[in-house]
Amino acid sequence: MTTTLRPEGPETPIAAGGRTRRWRILANGHPVGALRTTATPNGGQLWGEISELEVSEARGRGRGTFGALAAEEVLRSWGCVRVDVRIPEPASIARSLAATLGYTERMRTMSKRLTDAPALPTGLAVRPIGAEALSAWLDEGAERFTRALVASGLTEAQARAKVDGGRRHRLPEGAEAPGVVLSSLYGADGGPGPYGSIWLALHLRDLPDGEPLAWVMVVEVSPAHRGRGHGRTLMLLAERECLAAGVRNLGLNVFADNAVAVRLYGSLGYRVTERLYGKAL
């Protein structure tokens, strides 16, 4: 039996010079599944993504493997230097396939449905990050994020391209950007600080049901103050800010190897919804 990949429709250009196309997986000319390949520019490089991969007939015969490998060849021909795939948490078979094909889990998406505003611990004060301090804080955070991305499997050039592009896109107006919370945690007595800081986007996008989704862009506890519960307090602060703005869904990304953060978010009621796997092409 011959398995092939055939275009389902014309290639479609996307923003910033990227491209995407949907394909059918055929067995002896008969459709048995489909997938989509997408190439997105990042810092002068093209990154690939495989999405919408589904085998509709005769599963377990290697057609998903064929589809993924064929999609990789398409992305190579488009000039992509790496490929990522996002897998919903319930799709355990897809995660096993990704691991078999040499993909490494890099990141997890976690989310929570918010109900009641949590109380914050006493003895603490919350202050906005002023414009004069914001640039240095963002630069420090960008360096930490870059190192974490490299540790997750990206090259330094890829990591810096991703960090620089994200910062320009998400915070174009600095400390005065609308729909953004930039806050730091201090002792109520005005002692040295900050203990930690958070960047929260109150409306990243709408969920399929039309409800707004907020996103924790950065949460960071100062090295000298770690292990004292300040990360938990910053997350509780984010939840309070969301509810005050009428937003009841909060999400975040966490690196898969950051066991401390994964445990913290899990203890607060956040659940994994999606995992990101990737590899170099």
d(CA 121, CA 118): 10
d(CA 256, CA 261): 9
- Based on the fold, state whether residues 84 and 118 are members of the same structural domain: no
Cβ atoms 60, 31 nearer than 8 A:
no
Nearest alpha carbon to residue 110 among 234, 230, 276: 276
Give the pLDDT of residue 79: 95
Longest dimension (CA), the chain: 74
- Choosing from 102, 134, 161, the residue where a domain stops is 102
Split into its structural domains, the chain has a count of: 2
Residue corresponding to tokens 């005005």: 190
Give the pLDDT of residue 113: 97
Cβ atoms 95, 275 nearer than 8 A:
yes
- Based on the fold, state whether residues 224 and 173 are members of the same structural domain: yes
Over its length of 281 residues, how does the chain's per-residue pLDDT go in tens digits?
577 899 999 999 988 789 999 999 988 888 889 999 999 987 778 899 999 999 876 566 688 899 999 999 999 999 999 999 999 999 998 999 999 999 999 999 999 999 999 999 999 999 998 888 888 888 888 888 888 888 877 788 878 877 776 555 556 556 667 788 999 999 887 667 799 999 999 988 888 899 999 999 999 999 889 999 999 999 999 999 999 999 999 999 999 999 999 999 999 999 999 999 999 99
- Based on the fold, state whether residues 16 and 38 are members of the same structural domain: yes
- Based on the fold, state whether residues 16 and 128 are members of the same structural domain: no
| Structural domain contains residue 59 | yes
How many Cβ atoms sit within 10 Å of the Cβ of residue 70? 18
Give the pLDDT of residue 153: 78
| Structural domain contains residue 280 | no
- Based on the fold, state whether residues 96 and 119 are members of the same structural domain: no
Residue corresponding to tokens 């360096």: 143
Find the domain containing 147 and state its range: 113-275
Give the pLDDT of residue 1: 56
d(CA 86, CA 112): 19
Q: How far is CA 20 from the centre of its chain?
A: 20
Q: What is the pTM of this model?
A: 0.87
CATH number of the domain at 90, please: 3.40.630.30
- Based on the fold, state whether residues 80 and 122 are members of the same structural domain: no
- Based on the fold, state whether residues 95 and 123 are members of the same structural domain: no
d(CA 130, CA 77): 47
Q: How far is CA 195 from the centre of its chain?
A: 25
| Structural domain contains residue 108 | no
- Based on the fold, state whether residues 184 and 222 are members of the same structural domain: yes
- Based on the fold, state whether residues 148 and 196 are members of the same structural domain: yes
How many Cβ atoms sit within 10 Å of the Cβ of residue 141? 18
- Based on the fold, state whether residues 88 and 128 are members of the same structural domain: no
* Residue partners of 117: CB distance under 8 A and separation at least 6: 239, 240, 243, 244
* Residue partners of 233: CB distance under 8 A and separation at least 6: 120, 121, 124, 185, 196
- Based on the fold, state whether residues 234 and 270 are members of the same structural domain: yes
